[in-house]
C-alpha cells in the first residue's frame, strides 16, 4: 500500500489517519518505508530485536552490521540507551535533527542514533516510538531517493510506503563514531570541517 503526502501537508493537523495507519502497521510487526531529509528509510518497531533481524534479512544486510535507530531527539535516545558520551551530546545539539548518525558503544555493541528532520517521520516517532533507521533498499543497491526506487527493490516485503516526493538531500547521513574522540565513518552532507568546529579540532 502507498500513501502520498506532500511535505506541506505533513506539517498540518490533518494527518491523524496516516499516523493511525502507521501505528497499526508497526504494531503488527510489519515494515514501512518513510521519508527523511536524506534518503527513504525502512522502519519497524526498534524495541524488538527479532524485527531488526527481519529488516536485515529483507535488505540482505550482513548479520554483524548494525542497524541505526531513529529517535525524536537526543533526550529520547538517552531514555532507551542510558548515558552517552559528552561529545555525542555536543554533536546532536548542533546538527540534529538533521543528516547525522552518531554511533556509540554500549555494553559491548554499537548503537547508531539517528534524529531525522522530516515532519511526518518526526510525528511517527513521537506517536509510536523509536523505529529502525536504515535506507529502504537492498544492501549495496541504488539509494532510495524516492519511493519508486524503494518499491522496485523491496516490493511486497513492505506493508506501507509513505510517499512524500524526492528526498531533499538525496544522499546518506554523515556517520561518526563517538567516545572520547570523534571518528568519521562516512562523510555525507555534514563535512569534517563542520564537525571539527564543534569538537574543537
Tens-place pLDDT, residues 97-151 = 999 999 999 888 899 999 999 999 999 999 999 999 999 999 989 999 999 999 9
pLDDT, position 197? 79
pLDDT tens sequence across 82-101 = 999 999 999 999 999 999 99
* Domains detected in the chain: 2-199 (3.90.870.10)
pLDDT, position 119? 92
Q: Using a pLDDT cut of 70, give the percent of the chain over it.
A: 95
What average pLDDT score do residues 142-165 get? 95
pLDDT, position 4? 85
pLDDT, position 56? 94
Distance of alpha carbon 110 from alpha carbon 115, whole angstroms: 17
Three-state helix/strand/coil letters over the chain = CEEECCHHHHCCCCCHHHHHHHHHHHHCCCCEEECCCCCCEEECECCCHHHHHHHHHHHCCCCCCCCEEECCCHHHHHHHHCCCCHHHHHHHHHHCCCCEEEEEEECCEEEEEECCCCHHHHHHHHHHCCEEEEECCCCCCCCCCCHHHHHHHHHHHCCEEEECCCCCCCCCCEEEEECCCEEEEECCCCCHHHHHHHHCC
The residues, ordered by sequence, that sit 6+ positions from 138 with a Cβ below 8 Å of its Cβ are: 59, 60, 153, 154
Pairing type for strands 2-4 and 160-163 reads: parallel
Amino acid at each position: 500500500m502507498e500513501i502520498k503526502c506532500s511535505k506541506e501537508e505533513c506539517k498540518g493537523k490533518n494527518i491523524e489517519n496516516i499516523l493511525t495507519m502507521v501505528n497499526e502497521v508497526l504494531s503488527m510487526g510489519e515494515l514501512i518505508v518513510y521519508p527523511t531529509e536524506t534518503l527513504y528509510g525502512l522502519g519497524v518497531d526498534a524495541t524488538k530485536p527479532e524485527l531488526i533481524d527481519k529488516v536485515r534479512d529483507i535488505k540482505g544486510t550482513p548479520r554483524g552490521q548494525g542497524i541505526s535507530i531513529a529517535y525524536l531527539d537526543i533526550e529520547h535516545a538517552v531514555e532507551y540507551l542510558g548515558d552517552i558520551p559528552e561529545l555525542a551530546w555536543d554533536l546532536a545539539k548542533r546538527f540534529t535533527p538533521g543528516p547525522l548518525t552518531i554511533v556509540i558503544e554500549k555494553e559491548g555493541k554499537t548503537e547508531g542514533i539517528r534524529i531525522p528532520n522530516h515532519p511526518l517521520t518526526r510525528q511517527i516517532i513521537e506517536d509510536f516510538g523509536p523505529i529502525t533507521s536504515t535506507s529502504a533498499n537492498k544492501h549495496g543497491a541504488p539509494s532510495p531517493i524516492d519511493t519508486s526506487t524503494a518499491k522496485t527493490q523491496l516490493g511486497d516485503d513492505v506493508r506501507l510506503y509513505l510517499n512524500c516526493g524526492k528526498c531533499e538531500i538525496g544522499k546518506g547521513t554523515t556517520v561518526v563514531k563517538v567516545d572520547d574522540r570523534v571518528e568519521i565513518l562516512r562523510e555525507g552532507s555534514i563535512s569534517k570541517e563542520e564537525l571539527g568546529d564543534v569538537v574543537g579540532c
